[in-house]
C-alpha cells in the first residue's frame, strides 16, 4: 500500500478531532458538533487520552481512519496553514476534509484491487479510476466541494464489486454465500469455515468469530465492532482496514494480512 494512503497524524492539524461531529453512543461519551474541537484535543494537536481511548469510551476514535486525507488536506490543499491560525479558512477546511477522506478511502480500496493477480482483466479500468480519483484530490477547495462524489463512488463501487467476484470466484456458489443485508450481530460463528464469503456491509457487531477460517473473505464496509477474531485466520482476506481490525477483539494467534498490525489492546 502506498505510504500516502496511511494516516500521518504528525502532519495533520487533527482534522478528524475537529471537523467531524459525533454523538453520545457506545462509541463516544458525549455529543460534539462539526467544527468544534474535541475537549480532549491539546494545542499541539495531540490527543490527551490517546493511550486510553477505549477505556474512556472513545471507541469511535479507535476505529476511525482517514487513509491519509488528513495530512493531504493540511499540508497540500491548505499548504500547512493551521486552522487555529487561520480561522477564516477553518470552515472550508472542515468542509473539504470529509470529502477528501472519501476520495482517499476509494484510493485505498482501488489500490488493493490493483495489487491482486485475480483482477488482472480489470486493471486498465481500475488504473483509470485510480488516476481520476487522485486527480480529484488535487483540485482546489471550491472545486472539491462541487465534485459529484456520489456518482464517482458509484463507478468505483461497481469495479470493487467486480474485484470481489473475481477474487472469490472459487467460493461463489449460486449466490448463497452473500449475507448482504442480513444481521449477524452477536452471531455464533466460532470455528466455522467461512472462506471466500462476502461480508460486504454486514453487521458483525460482537460476533463470535474465534478460530474461524476467514481467508479470502470480502470485508468491505463490514461492522466488526467488538467481534471476537481471536485465533481466526484472516490472511488473504479482501478490503479489511486497520480501523476495522482496531474495533475487534483478538489475540496473538489471530492471523492478519501482512499490511495490518495487531492492535495494542489485543495484547493487554
With binding defined as CB under 6 A, does residue 61 bind ligand SF4? yes
From the CB of 181, what's the least distance to ligand SF4, in Å?
31
Residues of span 107-166 touching ligand SF4 by CB under 6 A: none
With binding defined as CB under 6 A, does residue 199 bind ligand SF4? no
15: closest CA among 40, 31, 38? 38
In order of 64, 222, 261, 265, the CA distances from 53 in angstroms are: 12, 22, 18, 10
Judge contact between 8 and 71, C-beta under 8 A.
yes
Q: How far is CA 8 from the centre of its chain?
A: 14
With binding defined as CB under 6 A, does residue 38 bind ligand SF4? yes
Give the residues across from 208 on adjacent strands: 188, 228
Instruction: Classify residue 198 by its DSSP letter.
Output: B
With binding defined as CB under 6 A, does residue 11 bind ligand SF4? no
**Alpha carbon distance 31, 15 (integer Å):** 17
**Alpha carbon distance 119, 95 (integer Å):** 35
With binding defined as CB under 6 A, does residue 12 bind ligand SF4? no
Number of H-type helices and E-type strands within the chain: 8, 0
From the CB of 221, what's the least distance to ligand SF4, in Å?
22
Stretch of 2-10, 38-46, 151-159, 191-199 contacting ligand SF4, by CB under 6 A = 38-46
> Which cell goes with 115?
495489487
Judge contact between 220 and 201, C-beta under 8 A.
yes
If the CB atoms of residues 24 and 193 are measured against ligand SF4, the closer one turns out to be 24
Q: Out of 58, 130, 167, 199, which residue is the one contacting ligand SF4 (CB under 6 A)?
A: 58
With binding defined as CB under 6 A, does residue 17 bind ligand SF4? yes
Q: Out of 9, 49, 147, 260, which residue is the one contacting ligand SF4 (CB under 6 A)?
A: 49
Stretch of 41-49, 100-108, 219-227, 231-239 contacting ligand SF4, by CB under 6 A = 41-49
From the CB of 149, what's the least distance to ligand SF4, in Å?
24
With binding defined as CB under 6 A, does residue 9 bind ligand SF4? no
Stretch of 4-12, 35-43, 72-80, 236-244 contacting ligand SF4, by CB under 6 A = 35-43
Q: Out of 4, 9, 40, 116, which residue is the one contacting ligand SF4 (CB under 6 A)?
A: 40
Give the residues across from 175 on adjacent strands: none
234: closest CA among 23, 98, 266? 266
Give me the residues that bind ligand SF4 (CB under 6 A), please: 17, 38, 40-41, 47, 49, 58, 61
Amino acid at each position: 500500500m502506498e505510504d500516502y494512503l496511511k494516516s500521518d497524524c504528525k502532519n495533520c492539524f487533527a482534522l478528524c478531532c475537529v471537523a467531524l461531529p459525533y454523538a453520545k453512543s457506545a462509541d463516544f461519551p458525549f455529543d460534539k458538533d462539526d467544527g468544534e474541537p474535541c475537549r480532549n484535543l491539546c494545542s499541539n494537536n495531540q490527543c490527551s487520552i490517546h493511550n486510553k481511548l477505549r477505556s474512556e469510551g472513545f471507541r469511535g476514535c479507535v476505529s476511525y481512519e482517514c487513509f491519509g486525507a488528513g495530512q493531504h488536506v493540511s499540508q497540500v490543499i491548505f499548504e500547512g496553514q493551521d486552522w487555529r491560525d487561520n480561522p477564516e479558512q477553518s470552515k472550508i477546511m472542515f468542509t473539504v476534509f470529509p470529502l477528501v477522506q472519501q476520495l482517499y478511502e476509494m484510493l485505498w480500496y482501488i489500490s488493493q484491487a490493483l495489487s491482486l493477480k485475480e483482477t488482472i482483466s480489470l486493471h486498465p479500468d481500475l488504473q483509470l479510476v485510480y488516476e481520476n480519483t487522485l486527480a480529484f484530490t488535487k483540485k482546489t477547495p471550491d472545486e472539491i466541494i462541487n465534485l459529484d462524489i456520489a456518482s464517482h463512488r458509484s463507478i468505483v463501487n461497481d469495479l470493487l464489486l467486480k474485484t470481489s467476484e473475481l477474487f472469490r470466484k472459487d467460493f461463489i456458489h449460486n449466490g448463497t454465500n452473500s449475507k448482504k443485508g442480513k444481521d449477524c450481530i452477536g452471531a455464533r460463528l466460532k470455528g466455522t469455515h467461512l472462506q471466500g464469503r462476502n461480508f460486504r456491509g454486514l453487521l458483525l457487531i460482537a460476533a463470535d468469530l474465534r478460530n474461524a477460517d476467514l481467508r479470502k473473505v470480502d470485508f468491505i464496509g463490514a461492522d466488526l465492532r467488538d467481534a471476537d477474531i481471536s485465533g481466526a485466520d484472516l490472511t488473504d482476506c479482501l478490503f479489511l482496514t486497520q480501523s476495522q481490525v482496531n474495533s475487534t477483539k483478538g489475540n496473538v494467534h489471530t492471523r492478519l494480512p501482512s499490511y495490518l498490525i495487531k492492535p495494542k489492546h489485543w495484547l493487554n
